[in-house]
Amino acid sequence: MVIRSPSLGAAEPFLIQQDWQAYTPEQHATWAELVGHRMPQIEAHACEQYLQGFHQIGLKTDLIPNLADVNQRLRPRSGWSATPVSGFLPPDAFFAMLAARKFPTTTWLRSKESLAYIPQPDIFHDVFGHVPMHAHPVFADFLQHYGAVCAALTDKDALERMGRLFWFTVEFGVIRQKGGYRLYGSGLISSQGESSYVIGGGPEIRDFDVDQVLNQQFSTSEMQPVLYAVESFDQIYEATHEAERRLCHGV
* Catalytic residue chosen out of the listed positions 78, 81, 190, 191: 190
Rounded to 5°, the CA angle 85-35-50 comes to: 75
Residues contacting Fe ion: total by CB under 5 A = 1
Q: How far is CA 243 from the centre of its chain?
A: 19
Overall residue count recorded for the chain in this entry:
251
* Catalytic residue chosen out of the listed positions 78, 171, 195, 244: 171
Is 125 tagged catalytic? yes
Is 130 tagged catalytic? yes
Is 171 tagged catalytic? yes
* Catalytic residue chosen out of the listed positions 45, 78, 81, 125: 125
Least separation in angstroms between CB 166 and Fe ion: 9
135 or 154: CB nearest Fe ion: 135
As a whole number of angstroms, the distance between CA 123 and CA 16 comes to 14
Is 222 tagged catalytic? no
186 or 191: CB nearest Fe ion: 186
161-190: which residues touch Fe ion (CB under 5 A)? 186
Least separation in angstroms between CB 79 and Fe ion: 20
As a whole number of angstroms, the distance between CA 144 and CA 220 comes to 24
Least separation in angstroms between CB 130 and Fe ion: 6
* Catalytic residue chosen out of the listed positions 45, 78, 81, 130: 130
As a whole number of angstroms, the distance between CA 97 and CA 89 comes to 10
18 or 186: CB nearest Fe ion: 186
From residue 108 to residue 137, the character string flagging contacts with Fe ion as x (rule: CB under 5 A) and all else as - is ------------------------------
Give the residue among 106, 175, 190 at the shortest CA–CA distance from 142. 175
Residue nearest to Fe ion (CB): 186
Give the residue among 220, 126, 120 at the shortest CA–CA distance from 167. 220
Least separation in angstroms between CB 69 and Fe ion: 21
2 or 118: CB nearest Fe ion: 118
Q: What is the 3-state secondary structure (H, E, C) of 98-123?
A: HHCCEEEECCCCCCHHHCCCCCCCCH
2-41: which residues touch Fe ion (CB under 5 A)? none
179-238: which residues touch Fe ion (CB under 5 A)? 186
Q: How far is CA 4 from the centre of its chain?
A: 22
Q: Is 100 left (phi over 0), alpha (psi -120 to 50) or beta?
A: alpha
Check if the beta carbon of residue 41 is closer than 8 Å to that of residue 199. yes
29 or 163: CB nearest Fe ion: 163
Least separation in angstroms between CB 4 and Fe ion: 26
Residue 196 neighbours by CB distance under 10 Å: 14
Check if the beta carbon of residue 146 is closer than 8 Å to that of residue 239. no
Contact residues toward Fe ion (CB under 5 A) are 186
- Residues designated catalytic: 125, 130, 171, 190
